[in-house]
């Protein structure tokens, strides 16, 4: 039962999943404008012809971002950072540290890199 019947497209359970008009239109647009047509018009989404809002006022965007960031509920726990650094000094692997403090390898790696870039070593 799957396939095209009249002006509708059916799946294998007999449910209508589309109309042939839309399929024909898509094929016509690709023939007229090229296979990248939908990619091109999709990339236009969200782009304003005239800048307004945050696109117009960078300092407003900066202030709003700072305000939102200060309300972040995921505050970093400096006790956890100290614990990570101490374990790093004791030559634990980054994965062992991540497992112990309950975070990800990426976060441990980033925090230790920041720590070392400030001139501190093991």
Please indicate, yes or no, if residue 60 is contained in any of the structural domains: no
> 4-25, pLDDT tens digit by residue?
777 777 778 877 777 777 778 8
Domain count, the chain: 2
So what's the pLDDT on residue 53?
A: 77
> 12-69, pLDDT tens digit by residue?
887 777 777 777 888 888 899 998 888 888 888 767 677 777 778 888 888 888 887 7
- Domain with 25 in it: 3-43
Please indicate, yes or no, if residue 21 is contained in any of the structural domains: yes
So what's the pLDDT on residue 102?
A: 85
pTM, rounded to two decimals: 0.37
Mean pLDDT computed over 76-97: 86
Residue 95 — very low, low, confident or very high, per pLDDT cuts 50/70/90? very high
Sequence-separated (6 or more) residues with CB below 8 Å from residue 83: 100, 101
* Candidate from 78-82, 93-97, 108-112 with smallest mean pLDDT: 78-82
So what's the pLDDT on residue 74?
A: 58
| Of residues 24 and 76, more confidently modeled | 24
Report the candidate in 117, 99, 98, 121 with the shortest Cα–Cα distance to residue 109. 98
Q: Where are the beta strands (DSSP E) in 1-122?
A: 3-5, 8-10, 16-19
Please indicate, yes or no, if residue 93 is contained in any of the structural domains: yes
Please indicate, yes or no, if residue 31 is contained in any of the structural domains: yes
Tell whether the model's pLDDT for residue 75 goes beyond 60. Answer: no
Please indicate, yes or no, if residue 88 is contained in any of the structural domains: yes
């Amino acid at each position: 039962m799957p396939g095209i019947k009249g002006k509708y497209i059916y799946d294998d359970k007999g449910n209508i999943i589309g109309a042939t008009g839309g399929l024909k239109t898509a094929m016509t647009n690709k023939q007229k404008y090229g296979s990248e047509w939908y990619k091109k018009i999709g990339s236009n989404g969200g782009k304003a012809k005239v800048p307004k809002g945050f696109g117009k006022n960078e300092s407003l965007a900066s202030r709003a971002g700072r305000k939102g960031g200060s309300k972040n509920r995921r505050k970093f726990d400096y006790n956890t950072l100290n614990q990570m650094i101490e374990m790093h000094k004791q030559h634990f692997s980054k994965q062992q540290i991540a497992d112990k403090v309950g975070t990800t390898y990426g976060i441990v790696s980033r925090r230790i890199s920041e720590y070392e870039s400030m001139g501190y070593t093991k």
